[in-house]
Amino acid sequence: MTALKNDRFLRALLREPVDTTPVWMMRQAGRYLPEYRAMRAQAGDFLSLCKNNDFACEVTLQPLRRYDLDAAILFSDILTIPDALGLGLYFEAGEGPKFHKTIRTEHDVVNLPNFNAKSDLDYVMNAVTTIRSALGGQVPLIGFSGSPWTLATYMIEGGSSKDFRYTKNMMYAQPEVLHALLDRLAIAVIDYLNAQIEAGAQAVQIFDSWGGALAHREYIEFSLNYMQKIVAGLKREHEGRKVPVILFTKGGGQWLEPMIATGADAFGLDWTTPLNVARQTVNGRAAIQGNLDPATLYGTPASIAKATKAMLDDAYANGEKTGYIANLGHGITQWVDPANPKAFIDTVHEYSAKYF
């Protein structure tokens, strides 16, 4: 594989020296870009876009042509595993992902088919290899998966949910059934992320999008424990280089201390936890990623730069010179003017230089 020209993202994840703060954006390949919308229209629908090797590669690279980003992230979806398990993923306009089948009983869990990432999700591995080659060492490629808890919520609810009625009913009334499902999913995620690493992903992120919906004890039992199992099962070195692991629980900043015990290299934060507080809590034991409110990008270049500088001042308030990756606190939204992320990204590189 081609040597990396820009490895500051990987170095910061491992708390190694960097020359400036690395930056990327969750959902950086997406609907806010007109070139993405054109490609999606050409593909016909979202899943066809994900499953076409050339299309997935093209949309992954699109934001790198516009912005000075320090990482690319595989273009795919967090629900590929449930889809491969036969639940029938589809997308309703304006309503997000849905499944034709749901998992509501012990019988449903027991009868889930066996899963093999390389064969059942071969289109994802092909995309990883193609994107890695197309990048030519420009920046590292991030692979990803949904967390077992987050995947389970979609599988049980049949789509997105505001109250997680069916999932929490199972959690409190039949916890053994939910644990059986989460264990199956953790094993699947280990297989899936390891296959991505073997295909060329140079770092991986676990998206625990709905972990923040849990009470504090239940978060540890039903979400974090399964992410810890995943981290323990991952390939942590490939091609002679460490493969960093990032855990991101939206709404999970209060659980940073127990998160550290997972052995992950970095923890993503949403916009509700001050970075100076997070850095004090972690105290050099891991890297931190985040956490600009995505809505900040609705502002002017001046207001975006001001908010970004404040975030960076918080990130380096304790005197650490690395171990921080700038990002949004969640994915960039479809309504952002594509000119605005440049103010965020350029400010990160230019303003943070004073800390090195």
Annotated binding site for substrate: 27-31, 77, 154, 209, 330
> Of these residues, 8, 11, 15, 27, which one is catalytic?
27
**Main-chain phi, psi angles of 93, to 5 degrees:** -55, 125
Known catalytic residue at 265? no
> Of these residues, 31, 122, 313, 346, which one is catalytic?
31
C-alpha span between 330 and 21 (Å, rounded): 18
Question: Scanning the structure block, which residue is given the tokens 């899963």?
Answer: 115
C-alpha span between 137 and 286 (Å, rounded): 25
> Of these residues, 67, 154, 226, 324, which one is catalytic?
154
How many H-runs (helices) and E-runs (strands) does the chain carry? Answer: 17, 11
3-state secondary structure of 267: strand
Known catalytic residue at 31? yes
Known catalytic residue at 37? no
Question: Max alpha carbon distance in the chain (Å)?
Answer: 59
Judged by phi (left if over 0) then psi (alpha if -120 to 50, else beta), residue 137 lies in: left
Going by C-beta distance under 8 Å and a sequence separation of 6 or more, which residues neighbour residue 72? 24, 60, 61, 64, 131, 135, 138, 139, 140, 141, 142
Residues flagged as binding site: 27-31, 77, 154, 209, 330
Q: Which residues carry out catalysis?
A: 27, 31, 40, 77, 154
